[in-house]
Amino acid sequence: MHLVLFLIFAAFCLAGAINLLLQTHPINSALSLIVVMSSLAVLYLLLGAEFLAAAQIIVYAGAVMVLFTFVVMLLNVGEEEKTHGSQVAKVIGFPAVVVILGVISTIVLEAQKHLGGVSLSDGVTTTQDLSRVLFHELLLPFELTSVLILIAILGAVALARKEGHS
């Protein structure tokens, strides 16, 4: 049953990601990203990471996507113009992607040979342990991320202001 659910939601995730890239309107792209984030949350649930699944829905599919949608609507962005792209990018880009994927897969396969089997950790990490690390040891990066998101919102509002209004 887990395999069937994994395949279904992995397909949703891939279809949402492909749809995200193919959309010309930013709001439709944001909705496709919500499908991707929700599918990832279900995949986290299948892995037994309930806290990550809840955080994925609350933080990413909820708050961040509302922020993206708010900024897109505030900037009043229209449909994107389709171009045929650069010929140089097609000639150099596709072989470069194949080479990079080949290098990454070679590194992963070689590391898998040397690392051996994967085993579960001895203890179970609780939500209390996770929150202690997040709000004590990683408090500065956590707060800097909040300030960065606030600056992005203020920048979007400043860009969206009309020239005649003070």
pLDDT of residue 145: 87
Both 68 and 98 in a single domain? no
Instruction: Specify if 121 maps to a domain.
Output: no
Expressed as residue numbers, the domain containing 109 is: 83-114
Do both 32 and 103 map to the same domain?
no
Could you give the C-alpha distances from 102 to 14, 17, 21, 89, 98, in angstroms and in order? 21, 22, 23, 19, 6
The answer to whether 142 and 135 have CB atoms below 8 angstroms apart is yes
Q: 76 and 87 in one domain?
A: no
Domain count, the chain: 3
CA dihedral 62, 68, 73, 76 (to 10 degrees): -170
Residue 139 placed within a domain: yes
Rounded to whole angstroms, the Cα distance separating 83 from 62 reads 32
pLDDT of residue 25: 82
- Check whether residue 75 and residue 108 sit in a common domain: no
**Do both 70 and 135 map to the same domain?**
no
Domain shared by 78 and 4, yes or no? yes
Mean pLDDT, 10 residues at a time, over the chain (166 residues)? 92 94 85 91 89 86 79 70 75 89 89 64 71 84 87 81 59
* Amino acid 6: pLDDT: 93
68 with 26, same domain: the answer is: yes
pLDDT of residue 133: 83
pLDDT number for residue 5: 93
Q: What is the pLDDT of residue 119?
A: 56
* Structure confidence at residue 7 (pLDDT): 94
Residue 13: per-residue pLDDT: 94
Residue 39 belongs to domain with CATH number: 1.20.120.1200
The CA–CA distances, whole Å, from 50 to 45, 63, 109 equal 5, 18, 29
**Which distant-in-sequence residues (6+ apart) come within 8 Å of 56 by Cβ?**
37, 38, 40, 41, 44
pLDDT at 162: 63
Closest CA to 17 of 1, 2, 38: 38
User: Does residue 119 form part of some domain?
Assistant: no
Task: Tell whether 100 and 158 lie within a shared domain.
Answer: no
CA distances in angstroms from 110 to 98, 100, 101, 119, listed in the order given:
18, 15, 14, 18
